[in-house]
Every structure is written in structure tokens, then in C-alpha cells.
Structure 1
Amino acid sequence: MKGGNPMHVFKNIGAVLVLVLVLSIGSVGCSSSGESTAVQAPLASASPERQDNSNVINTDEKQPGQTASAVSPQGPPIARENAGQVKEINARELAEMISSTQNLFLIDVSTPGEYKEGHIKGSLPGDLRLLRTRPEQYLESLGAMPSDAIVLICETGSKSYRVAEVLLGTKYQNVYNLAGGKIDWVREGFDLVTEDGKS
């Protein structure tokens, strides 16, 4: 009996030690998985930064002097490092310019159908494709000089504004946009003429 008791005690101690060891390993495993979670958190937070950087790159790709029109369906990229600000005029100011300015080019960039339905007397139907791709050559073909005043016109003033921005990337800097377009022109009491010259 005396010889058996110490062995029984040793077995119990061994079992306790094994249990403590197992629990220690388990707690280490938990803490290490906690650490791995802590390590993963910065990676997860770094991911949006990478996305932000990619957004910045995408924005930069659109910006070297391009208008919104230059990137999407409206037209090609145009450098605008030296471009100024588009000068907007209202219908009454345009009427005054027409009566007082000699070297004035009115270019209507509406669709051909819209131009036929009604345009400001004296305005030319603008070739939108050429104005976006070869603006200087196109204006030269119309006889426009860099010092001439050029007014861009469309139905609402939106499309013509984008074309005006393109022209500011060229040697033509005396560029205006009719704010509100032909809609405001008519609203202010001025007439449009049809293709045959009738109002």
C-alpha cells in the first residue's frame, strides 16, 4: 500500500501537468490568433488607402487639361495649362455684341436638326467633331483670326460651354459662351430664324 500511494500521487501530478500544458498551449493559440487578427487589421485598413490611391490616379488621368467632355463621349483630351476661363454672356449682352462688334463669329453647335428648326441670325452651323478634334484648323477654315470674338451657342448653353473650354486650349482666347443658350435667347424676346432665313 505504501509503495502504491506515491505512484498514484505522481500519476495525478503528471495528469495535472499535462492539463496545464494543454491549457497553456490553448491560451497561446488564442493569443496568437488574436495577434494575427491584430496584424490583419492594418492590412484591411491599408486596403482602402490603396483604393484611394487608385482613385487619385484615375482622377489624374482625366485631369491633364481635359474637360469632362474630353474624356467621355464629347471629345478628345485637350491640354489646358494655358487655358483661361470661359466668359459667359447672356442673351442681352450677345444682342449688344452683335450690333457693336465687327469681328464676331457666332457658331451654333446644336445638332443639324436643331439648327434647321431655329438659330440666331448670322450664326454658322458648327462642326462639333472638328471643333473638338482640330479646333484651330476648323476656325481658320471659317476665316476666324485669333483676335476675333467667338461666341459658342447651343440649345441650353451646356454643350457650347464644353466646346468653348476646348477652344481656350488653342490660340483663340476671345471665346464666349451664350449662357442659357437659344432657350434663354427666345425667353428674352429675341427671334430665331430657320434655315431658309424666316423667323
Structure 2
Amino acid sequence: MLTRLFGPRVPELTPHEAHERLQAGALLIDVREPDEWRAARIPGARLIPLDELPQRVGELDRNREIILVCRSGNRSASATAYLQRAGFTKVRNLAGGLIAWARAGLPVVR
């Protein structure tokens, strides 16, 4: 019943799992707004604000693993679900977003 109402569960990674995947070549897409991006970001992340994602989906490689991040994990979960509906199969949400990443002691550019 819940799957019919909300769609399939969005696959997630912990910050440490995401860090390992990034080291192995995954692409990190930050879906926050430019002012949030300037304040703090994960090194190597590419900014595509959530509201621009539908127009910019063609910039993404469907064959590469993509990890999506925002501040807390909510917007990036929506972006992950959107990309799944668009036919992307290798997309994951960073659980807890930048907040969880920083709390895990992983690098942040400020």
C-alpha cells in the first residue's frame, strides 16, 4: 500500500559508504541552493539545484553511479526519486545529508 502511495523506497548510503563510493568514482550531485553551496560543500560535489534538475538531467551519465546530497537528506531523497522515475538505476541518496557527512568527520569545504 505505501509503495502505491509514495513510490518505491529511495536507496540510501551512510556518509562512510558514500565516501567509499566517491573514492571509487561515483558522481556527487548537491541539490541545494547556490548560497548554501557557497557556505559549505563536500569536496568534488557538483551543484545542480533541485529546481534545475529536470532541465539539467541530460548532463548526467546514466551509466555512472550518482549520489545525491542536500543539507539533511530530504531534498536529495526527492531528487533521487525523480532520477529513478527518469530511468536512472544507479542513484543513491546520502542519508542525513551534509549534516551527517560533517558529523561523521568527513571533509567539508567552507
Matching of residue 151 in structure 1 with residue 73 in structure 2? no
Structure 2 residues not aligned, in runs of 5+: none
What's the Cα RMSD here? 1.9
Say which structure is richer in helix.
1
Counterpart of 1:176 (choices 89, 92, 106) is: 92
User: Which runs of structure 1 show a deviation greater than 2 angstroms over 4 or more consecutive aligned residues?
Assistant: none
- Alignment CA distance shift 1:113-1:147 (3 Å): same
Q: Aligned residue for 1:185?
A: 101
SS in 2 for 1:168: helix
Structure 1 residues not aligned, in runs of 5+: 1-64, 68-79, 195-199
Q: Aligned residue for 1:123?
A: 45
- Could you report, residue by residue, the CA deviation over 1:82-119 in whole angstroms, capped at 9, with x for unpaired residues? xx54210010001111112x3x2211011211110111
Matches within 5 A, 1:44-55: none
- Could you report, residue by residue, the CA deviation over 1:37-94 in whole angstroms, capped at 9, with x for unpaired residues? xxxxxxxxxxxxxxxxxxxxxxxxxxxx886xxxxxxxxxxxx7xxx54210010001
Contact residue 50 and residue 75 of structure 2 kept, 8 A: no
- Could you report, residue by residue, the CA deviation over 1:162-187 in whole angstroms, capped at 9, with x for unpaired residues? 11111111121111000000001010
Indicate the percent of aligned positions where both proteins have the same amino acid: 29
Q: Distance in 2 between matches of 1:155 and 1:130?
A: 17
Structure having the higher Rg: 1
For residue 65 of structure 2, what is the amino acid of its counterpart? A
Contact residue 32 and residue 49 of structure 2 kept, 8 A: no
Relative CO higher for 1 or 2, CA cutoff 8 Å, sep ≥ 6? 2
Matches within 5 A, 1:17-28: none
TM-score between the two structures when normalised by the length of structure 1: 0.49
Matching of residue 160 in structure 1 with residue 76 in structure 2? yes
TM-score between the two structures when normalised by the length of structure 2: 0.86
For residue 178 of structure 1, what is the amino acid of its counterpart? L
- Alignment CA distance shift 1:117-1:129 (3 Å): same
Q: Tell me the number of residue pairs that the alignment of Structure 1 and Structure 2 aligns.
A: 107
Say which structure is richer in strand.
2
